[in-house]
């Protein structure tokens, strides 16, 4: 089956970016001139996704408002004949069929995914974490979808990380079957550096069989009372093959302060409106360091 639906969990508190996220959802903090979550939505659309479900949380109405029609703003832009800005606003509300559901309790990523069961039904589906922006002309999710169609099995997006960083990620134990693809044997959530089975980390993109929902309903909560998606995928591996794909592209963790700044600078250097001035500024700044 073709992958047509995607879910974006966006109910977290964004504590790594406090105090900015005290009143503003982390997903709405702009990278150059677009909120972070819009980059994720655009990746899904550019990968061929037709319907998107955003798993929202309390006090995050601004995410829904961003993707809705803004009658007042568009009326003002139309009256002032600001056609370019009007098109930008209209394109956002027309970009995809976007639905919302609220995760009423913060019970982990597995629980957030489970909130999408009615939306997904019995189809394969994609998960894109809102913290991770991946910059590549060949969209990260499309890369995973192509692997899913080849093997007809769930696929996890991975990249290699420095060995001293493995305790920050889910790490796979896997057999490499071609240049970029692995068959997963096991997954370990944030292992100690000494005991990590590899330095190949799970990084925010999944294409999953709908069977994962039945598994997540039965998974026992782990640390902090949370239902972990990793535990669900490990259980899925007992009955079905699960693959991992070392995706192409530069990944930015925009939920991290340094990752957010890197994304702003590097994506700014690609932005037609500011790239030349930004490059000149950074050259002058570098001489002062």
Average pLDDT of the residues in 80-89: 94
Mean confidence (pLDDT) of the chain:
93
> What is the per-residue pLDDT for 1?
79
**Assigned domain for 275 exists:** no
> What is the per-residue pLDDT for 198?
94
**Assigned domain for 141 exists:** yes
32 is in which domain, residue-wise? 5-253
**Assigned domain for 269 exists:** no
> What is the per-residue pLDDT for 224?
72
Average pLDDT of the residues in 33-61: 94
Give the CATH number for residue 75. Answer: 3.90.550.10
At residue 284 the predicted structure's pLDDT band, cuts being 50, 70 and 90, is: very high
**Assigned domain for 15 exists:** yes
At residue 12 the predicted structure's pLDDT band, cuts being 50, 70 and 90, is: confident
**Assigned domain for 128 exists:** yes
pLDDT tens for 202-253 read 999 999 999 999 999 998 887 678 898 999 999 999 999 999 999 999 999 9
Average pLDDT of the residues in 197-201: 94
Q: Based on the structure, what is the number of domains in the chain?
A: 1
pLDDT tens for 95-145 read 889 999 999 887 889 999 999 999 999 999 999 998 899 999 999 999 999
Render the chain in DSSP notation, one character per residue. Answer: ----EEEEE-----GGGTTGGGTS-GGGSEETTEEHHHHHHHHHHHTT--EEEEEE-TT-HHHHHHTS--HHHHHHHHHTT-HHHHHHHHHHHHSSEEEEEE--S---HHHHHHTTHHHHTTS-EEEE-TTEEEE-SS-HHHHHHHHHHHH-SEEEEEEE--GGGGGGSEEEEEEE-SSSEEEEEEEEES--TTT-S-SEEEEEEEEE-THHHHHHTTPPP-GGGPPPHHHHHHHHTTTS-EEEEE--SEEEETTSHHHHHHHHHHHHTT-TTTHHHHHHHHHHHHHH-
**Assigned domain for 281 exists:** no
**Assigned domain for 283 exists:** no
**Assigned domain for 108 exists:** yes
């Amino acid at each position: 089956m073709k992958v047509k639906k995607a879910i974006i969990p966006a109910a977290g508190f964004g504590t790594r970016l406090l105090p900015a996220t005290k009143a503003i959802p982390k997903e709405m903090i702009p990278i150059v001139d677009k909120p972070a979550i819009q980059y994720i939505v655009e990746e899904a659309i550019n990968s061929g996704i037709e319907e998107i479900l955003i798993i929202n949380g309390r006090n995050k109405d601004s995410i829904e408002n961003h993707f809705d029609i803004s009658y007042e703003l568009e009326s003002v832009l139309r009256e002032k004949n600001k056609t370019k800005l009007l098109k930008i606003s209209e394109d956002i509300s027309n970009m995809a069929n976007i639905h919302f559901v609220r995760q009423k309790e913060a019970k982990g990523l597995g629980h957030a995914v489970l909130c999408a069961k009615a939306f997904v039904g019995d189809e394969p589906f994609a998960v894109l974490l809102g913290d991770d922006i991946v910059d590549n002309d060949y969209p990260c999710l499309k890369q995973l979808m192509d692997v899913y169609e080849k093997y007809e099995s769930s696929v996890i997006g991975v990249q290699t990380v420095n060995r001293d960083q493995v305790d920050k990620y889910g790490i796979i134990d896997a057999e490499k079957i071609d240049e970029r693809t692995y068959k997963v044997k096991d997954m370990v959530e944030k292992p100690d550096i000494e005991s990590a089975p590899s330095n190949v980390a799970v990084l925010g993109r999944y294409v999953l069989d709908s069977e994962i929902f039945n598994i997540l309903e039965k998974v026992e909560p782990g640390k902090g009372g949370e239902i972990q998606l990793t535990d669900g995928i490990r259980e899925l591996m007992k009955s079905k093959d699960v693959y991992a794909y070392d995706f192409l592209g530069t990944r930015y963790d925009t939920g991290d302060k340094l990752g957010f700044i890197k994304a702003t600078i590097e994506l700014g250097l690609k932005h037609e409106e500011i790239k030349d001035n930004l490059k000149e500024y950074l050259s002058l700044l570098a001489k002062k360091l």
